[in-house]
């Protein structure tokens, strides 16, 4: 899994990360965005522009957000139409 959006994104109204993504791999789920792991190309553009610092490479996710890794793995399966992004 390339990148994980943590709970810091919950309720965030900024979409800088979505706008900068060259492959449109962001999807809305439960009041925040998630990254579809099969679509992400690991460019890190979203990490650089996230105003709330909610996006991390999987290996860099702080321990307090470790549960978000599991959520990111399940996220794409919870989407009603996994290819309908913003």
pLDDT tens by residue, 10-53: 989 899 999 999 999 998 887 888 898 889 999 999 999 999 99
- pLDDT at position 29 is 82
pLDDT value at 9 more than 80 = yes
What backbone torsions phi and psi does residue 21 show, to the nearest 5 degrees? -65, 120
CATH topology of domain 3-64: Alpha-Beta Plaits (3.30.70)
Mean pLDDT to the nearest integer, 66-71: 78
Domains in the chain: boundaries? 3-64
Q: Give the span between the Cα atoms of 66 and 13, in whole angstroms.
A: 23
**Residue 82 pLDDT grade (very low, low, confident, very high; cuts 50, 70, 90):** very low
Query: What is the pTM assigned to this prediction?
Result: 0.79
């Amino acid at each position: 899994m390339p990148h994980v959006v943590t709970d810091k994104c919950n309720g965030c109204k900024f979409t800088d990360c979505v706008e900068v993504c060259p492959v449109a791999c962001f999807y809305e789920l439960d009041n925040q965005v998630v990254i579809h792991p099969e679509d992400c190309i690991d460019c890190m553009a979203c990490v650089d522009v996230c105003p709330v610092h909610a996006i991390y490479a999987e290996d860099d996710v702080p321990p307090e957000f470790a549960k978000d890794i599991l959520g990111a793995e399940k996220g794409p399966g919870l989407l009603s139409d996994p290819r309908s992004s913003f």
